[in-house]
Structure 1
Amino acid sequence: MLPFSAIDLSCSAVKALSYEPPGSRLDGWLAHTLAAGFLSDGGPLGRYSYLMADPVAHAELTYDDPRETTAFLAEVTAAITPDNEMPKIGDTPTPPFTGGLVGMATFELGLRLEAMKRRPFRIAGRKAWPELTVLCYPAVLVFDHHRQTLAAIGRGATSAEAVAACDRLIDLYEGTPASAVVSGGFLDEPLCLETPDGVHEDKVAALIQQIHAGDLFQANLARGWTGRLRRGVRPGAVMAALHAAGPAPFGGFLGLDERFVVSNSPERFIRLDADGRLETRPIKGTRPRGRTAGEDKDLAVELSASEKDRAENLMIVDLMRHDLSRVADVGSVIVPALHVLESYPNVHHLVSTVTGRLQTDKTAADVISATFPPGSISGAPKVQAMKVIHEMEAARGPYCGSLFFIDAGGAMDSNVLIRTLAMERDQAGRWNIRACAGGGIVADSVPRAERIETETKLSLIKGVLEG
């Protein structure tokens, strides 16, 4: 691996391939060294999917690392500059990601950023997970769902290096076998619930009392499930099955040797365009999909009309307006969409959109430092909600963190790691997994309803894992 200071991404090269959906070789692709990807549903928010592997640089900010997050990010983003050449793919727009950095931040990075009491995240008592991981990929496969095209983009210090990076990735992809997607049933036994139903409802009730006492307005309270994949089942099979069962606009995965994160997230955290436009899309408000068309419509109407869910959403919109204002031009932060209904395979959600324009002296690294963790999965006020979460939950790890990319030219996009699995391989070669689901608790929350909401949100993942 190279030091990040030695990376040069200034030149680019593009080669076209025959199109196939990004799920076609997922199982095999995730078996490659430090494989990563962003998988969209091809809808209005998800035009592109990306696959990467074999990075040239890899850095981690571990639980016991004394470095400041800002210093770490400054180091790893040294090669990111608007002067880097931006490739063109025929007559289509340049995709947001053309090679560069991919990172994963755990929820606990937020505790570090706020100088709060911290704790490590572990699975099955093993070594603590890093709080921030960043890798540099000099080549990327770009799937354009709208035009149904596939291209490889390579980067390097010279045109020849860029072409070589492009060719290596193409060879790797063409040598990856097609996936035989299995619909589900990957566990030896059903998922094990960490927090029993009654205990979770008691925690919700206690949190409601704190809200009534004026300690805070809202906090996201989650609980976890654990399990283990059957012998011989790889993370790629799970990712492929999730993507096939219910693709989401902001899904993705990252392999870190003996660890994996796979996500089917419907939520964007922060997008930064090359021209400085910022966007965040917080989700607050959930209903299950109905068993019939009539029931489904009734549930959607109920959610859209719910004063409780709209108030919950508005609190987080105000929080995200504040967070974006820390790096945006004065007066540029607006809310172009509020309480919009969006429907996914197993849930309806209320989603709002907040936009702004980045200050000219700020970068993607500044955006991460100023806004993490996402407000929708912490609460309001954010720091006080994080303190409550710390008292009531185990460490979250990747759950409610973010998977992100920073393009060589400076653009960024990121998800909120909900509908997400953290996986770790044990000494016997078996993959231990942990999944979580939660919801925003406000003054008029009902403990039983909040508990049921966690089950609704986990239903797609649970169905795929348990078959």
Structure 2
Amino acid sequence: MSEGLSHVLVRDHPWTEPLEVAVGIGGADGALALLSDGGPGGRWSHLATGPDRVHVGEVEADLFGPLRDPAWGAGTVGLAAYDAGARPATGARTPVWPDLILARYPSLLSFDHHRHRVRAIGRGRDPAEAEAAADRAAAWLVAARPAPPSTEPPAEGFAAEAPEQAYRQAVAEVVARIAAGELFQANIARGWNGTLKPEADPFDVFLRLQQGRASSYGAFWRVGDLALVSNSPELFLAFDGVGGRIEARPIKGTRARSSDPVEDAALAAELRASAKDRAENLMIVDLMRNDLARVSRAGSVAVDRLFAVESHPTVHHLVSTVVGRADPGVTPADLLAASFPPGSITGAPKHQAMKVIADLEPPRGAWCGSLFILEEGGGLTASVLIRTASFERIDGRWRFRTLAGAGIVADSDPEAELAETEAKISALRRALTA
């Protein structure tokens, strides 16, 4: 076991816009920005840099086993790749992203959007270390500055990895496999890639994505030559380690938004009433209930909200909320192991859906994995990495890959599912290429 940071100092500070603090910190190695839009689904934002402990690599057995080391306590941020979680179903595949990335941040700023207060948190092996770490975090507030005006598009291009017809055919194949009784639903994705201009980096993409398109679980994170930019609206798991409450908010069901208010309202109403989308959502709700039941007290798993329409800058989504009360002794590692990968981006039954996905897609990497932060008292907040681009610096240039998918069910129409992927990728496409 490794040494943890047992001393914690928390200081309150007046409100400062987290995006302005993120601009002051910048996008150098180790920079972290977990930015919420401050809406009902995203109360907290977190900012940090300068991790004192980092893990990047493959995990042979228990994907979340490293989190059982107490050294990875509160202030730890992690990213679990989709393919690592799917491996029990798919077998070994050529990795395109590390299984697990972890970084521990002794200095952290946490922004409470509801109370408009900022907490500077310092952690250390003794009180003096914790105080120095809290001072470092507070200094980032002083360096805050407004986000620069939107600049030239940072990407040189945005190329589809396969023709549109290949996606239509994949959807048709899944529909046929559902008709044959092989499964009920699978989330099938298509990908795009490209290279940033020599003078651009992933932080530029993040800033463009934040302006006018902020989400509940927006993120920028850079670890060495890897970086992630996310505009995810989806909560995978929230866990209150003290009270034991677990919450998941799976998304299933989408409509593109319209600039015409009347048409936009009609599209939201159509989504709310759609039997197909409600059935698609309900399958995943049942799947998440099953996953949470593995680590919850008997009879505590329930559906708190069903088929709610949430509106985002480019799409309307159908969202449900599943809750549970954890068994005594359950840890974030236990909860993640019981539920990962997220059911909303696999399908039902989950194991078979992941096999079908592997038949039709190359490895996903970070996309549709999860980005999470460990909190005081054994708590956890984890997002689903949709609306996400992963970056790798090769020979001095940043190359990116991003995907968008749709849940395929028995009555899916290939053309409609293709259109759904276009709606979902639109914000990232604009951030990269305008």
Report the TM-score, using the length of structure 2 for normalisation. 0.96
Mean CA deviation greater in 338-347 or 40-49? 40-49
CA distance 1:184–1:110, change in 2 (3 Å): farther
Distance 1:16 1:430, change over 3 A: same
Matched residue pairs, number? 433
1:107 matched residue in structure 2: 82
Equivalents in 1 of 2:335, 2:350: separation in Å?
16
Task: Tell me the secondary structure at the aligned position of residue 2 of structure 2.
Answer: helix
Aligned to 1:40: 36
The letter of the residue matching 1:5 is: S
| Equivalent pair of 2:16/2:141 in contact (CA under 8 Å) | no
Tell me the alpha carbon deviations over residues 113-132 of structure 1, each in whole angstroms, 9 at most, x when there is no partner: x364122343xxxxxx2111
Report the 3-state secondary structure (helix = DSSP H, G, I; strand = E; otherwise coil) of the residue aligned with 1:329.
coil
Shift of 1:48: 1.4
The percentage of counterpart residues that share the same residue type is 45
Query: What one-letter code is carried by the residue in structure 2 that aligns with 1:100?
Result: G
* Structure 1 residue matching 2:266: 3-state secondary structure: helix
Q: Which moved more, 1:250-259 or 1:341-350?
A: 250-259
Work out the CA distance in 2 between the residues paired with 1:350 and 1:184: 34
Specify the SS of the correspondent of 1:242.
Answer: helix
- 1:375 is matched with 343
Aligned match for 2:48, one of 34, 42, 52: 52
List aligned pairs for 1:298-317, cutoff 5 A.
298-317=266-285
Which of 222, 234, 242 lines up with 2:201 in the alignment? 234
Cα distance, 1:322–1:54 mapped onto 2, change above 3 Å:
same
Mapped pair 1:292 → 2:265? no
Q: What one-letter code is carried by the residue in structure 2 that aligns with 1:118?
A: A
Name the CA shift for 1:431/1:180 in 2 (closer, same or farther; >3 Å). Answer: same
* Contact 2:31–2:48 under 8 Å retained in 1: yes
Distance 2:308 2:60 in 1: 42
Q: 1:346 aligns with which of 314, 320, 332?
A: 314
Deviates more, 1:256-265 or 1:176-185: 176-185
Instruction: Report whether the alignment pairs 1:5 with 2:18.
Output: no
Which digits, 9 at most, give the CA deviation of each residue in 1:84-139, with x for residues without a partner?
xxxxxxxxxxxxxxx52100011012124x364122343xxxxxx21111111122
Cα distance in structure 2, aligned partners of 1:348 and 1:316 = 18
Map residues 37-186 of structure 1 onto 2, 5 A cutoff: 37-62=33-58, 65-75=59-69, 77-78=70-71, 80=73, 99-112=74-87, 114=88, 116-122=90-96, 129-172=97-140, 174-175=142-143, 178-182=146-150, 185-186=153-154
Classify the secondary structure of the residue corresponding to 1:328. Answer: coil
Q: Report the AA paired with residue 185 of structure 1.
A: P
Change (3 A) 1:156 1:39: same
Aligned equivalent of 2:175 = 208
**Does the 8 A contact of 2:154 with 2:201 survive in 1?**
no
Q: Is the 8 A contact 1:27 1:236 kept in 2?
A: no
1:290, 1:184 → 2: CA distance?
A: 26
1:261-303 residue CA offsets vs partner (Å, 9 max, x unmatched): 1100000001101311000000000001112011101101111
SS at match of 1:44: coil
Secondary structure (helix, strand or coil) at the match of 2:282 reads: helix
Of 260, 278, 283 in structure 1, the residue corresponding to residue 246 of structure 2 is 278
Q: Which amino acid aligns with 1:102?
A: V
CA–CA separation in structure 1 for the residues paired with 2:149 and 2:21: 9
Amino acid at match of 1:398: A
How many angstroms apart in 2 are the aligned matches of 1:213 and 1:454?
Answer: 25
Q: Give the letter for the 1:444 counterpart.
A: D
AA partner of residue 192 (structure 2) = W
Residue identity opposite 2:286 in structure 1: D
Cα displacement string for residues 214-264 of structure 1 (whole angstroms, at most 9, x for unaligned residues):
000000000001111112112112111111121111111221111101100
Aligned-partner Cα distance in 1 for 2:357–2:36: 30
TM-score (norm 1): 0.89
3-state SS of paired residue (1:320)? helix
Shift of 1:178: 4.7
Q: Distance in 2 between matches of 1:360 and 1:25?
A: 38
- The Cα of 1:24 is off from its aligned counterpart by 1.2
Taking structure 1 as reference, are residues 222 and 432 closer, same or farther at Cα in structure 2, changes over 3 Å only? same
Distance (Å, rounded) in 2 between the aligned partners of 1:240 and 1:101: 24
C-alpha spacing 1:58/1:115, structure 2 compared with 1 (3 Å): farther
> 1:318-333 alignment to 2 at 5 Å?
318-333=286-301
CA separation of 1:121/1:182 partners in 2, compared to 1, >3 Å: closer, same or farther?
A: farther
**Corresponding residue to 1:460 among 394, 402, 427:** 427
Q: Is the 8 A contact 2:18 2:35 kept in 1?
A: yes
Change (3 A) 1:107 1:164: same
The 8 Å contact of residues 23 and 244 in structure 1, kept in 2 or not, is answered as: no
Closer, same or farther: CA 408–149 of 1 in aligned 2, 3 Å: closer
Deviates most, 43-52 or 177-186: 177-186
Q: C-alpha displacement at 1:157, in angstroms? A: 2.7
Give 1:14 deviation, angstroms: 2.4
SS in 2 for 1:245: coil
Equivalents in 2 of 1:326, 1:221: separation in Å? 26
- Matches of 1:253 and 1:102 in 2, distance apart? 12
Report the 3-state secondary structure (helix = DSSP H, G, I; strand = E; otherwise coil) of the residue aligned with 1:391. Answer: helix
One-letter code of the match for 1:326? R
Q: What amino acid does structure 2 have at the position aligned with 1:14? A: V
CA 1:7/1:44 → structure 2, altered by over 3 Å: closer, same or farther?
same
Whole-angstrom distance in 2 between the partners of 1:170 and 1:108: 38
How far apart are residue 176 of structure 1 and its match?
6.4
Contact 1:104–1:132 (CA under 8 A) maintained in structure 2: yes
Q: Which 4+ runs in 1 deviate beyond 6 A?
A: none
Partner residue of 1:405? 373
